[in-house]
Amino acid sequence: MKGTNQIITFLAVALLLLSTGCQRGKDAAASDVLTIALVMKTLNNPFFIDMETGAREAAGKLGVQLLIQAPDREADVEKQMQVIENLIQRKVSAICIAPSGSKEIVPAIVKANRAGIPVLIIDTRVDSIALAEAGGRVASFIGSDNFQGGRIAGEFIVEQLAGRGKVAILEGIPGHETGDARLSGFHQVVDQVPGIEIVASQTANWERGQGYNVFQNILQSHPEVQALFACNDLMALGAIEALSAAGRSGDLLVVGFDAIQDARTAIAAGTMAGSVAQHPAEMGKFAVEFAHALLRGETIPENFPVPVELITRQNVAASPTAANN
């Protein structure tokens, strides 16, 4: 009887150990699945919807879990920082961020660094001085040369106006690296042309509704304006609506930035002259691919430029939309 009890006890322990081992195997398998987070400025802008499309396609091919989160408004830096802190608490494998604020996002990056979570930056560069002073680091930047994009827009407007005319500007969020770089590139070109006069330069905070309201006021104050450079397409499209409401549809040379689908439609219709394309789907794709490679111990580029190009009525039909790149 004693021997029988010992056998039963041995079998029970063996089964328990086997069960525990199987469970540990399941946990190990589950932990092998990498979780990459993509934190964008908003989910309400077609530009970032295209970025999401590229990221999801890459994640599907690589077999990684992708978490996509963003505040409702592009200007809501505090909400974006809260999103990142929550992802740090969830212990995601890597975080790809399109910063809403180049300086403001630095503390969140530092927290991710301390948690051992790699950070990749997309679209908008982080302020390098603020990052260095805080002791933070990013693994890679994937994005366009916004300064060059601003130059391209400026050269096009100067050419179309034959070097003489009155121009208005709709700026992005003040102090935001993306908008500031586009604005600087634009000014580098037009400020060298004596015949070009900037009659108004105001922010519309990247939003279509504000683009409408701000440009409506500009039209009333400067009815002689001949061209507009908007630092993104949503503001440009709002301005086009203001032109339509004023009975001046197609009367001004309007150039935007991003070449989203609505802008391409307006370009084809002749209500918008052009837009600088950035290819956000490529940004999302490469961000996920680079994060995956980094987590596997591979080397990734510190800077990865995504090309920009001008879309006009002459090439809009031949140029694929950002989501299809």
CB-CB contact of 196 with 158 (8 Å): yes
Between the two ends of the chain, the Cα-to-Cα distance in Å is 76
pLDDT for position 173: 87
Q: What is the CATH number of the domain that holds 217?
A: 3.40.50.2300
Q: Single out the residue in 277, 292, 320 at which a domain terminates.
A: 277
Taking the C-alpha atoms of residue 323 and residue 134, their distance in angstroms, rounded to an integer, is 36
Residues β-bridged to residue 253: 227
pLDDT for position 174: 84
Tokens found for residue 59? 């994640």
pLDDT for position 1: 45
Tokens found for residue 5? 């009890």
| Co-location of 135 and 284 in the same domain | yes
Taking the C-alpha atoms of residue 260 and residue 316, their distance in angstroms, rounded to an integer, is 11
Residues β-bridged to residue 227: 167, 253
What residues of the chain score a pLDDT lower than 50? Answer: 1-31, 322-325
| Co-location of 58 and 122 in the same domain | yes
pLDDT for position 75: 80
Tell me how many degrees the CA angle 55-61-63 measures, rounded to the nearest 5.
95
Whole-model pTM: value is: 0.79
How many domains is the chain built from? Answer: 2
pLDDT for position 319: 67
pLDDT for position 320: 59
Taking the C-alpha atoms of residue 120 and residue 26, their distance in angstroms, rounded to an integer, is 30
pLDDT for position 124: 92
| Co-location of 151 and 218 in the same domain | yes
| Co-location of 167 and 187 in the same domain | yes
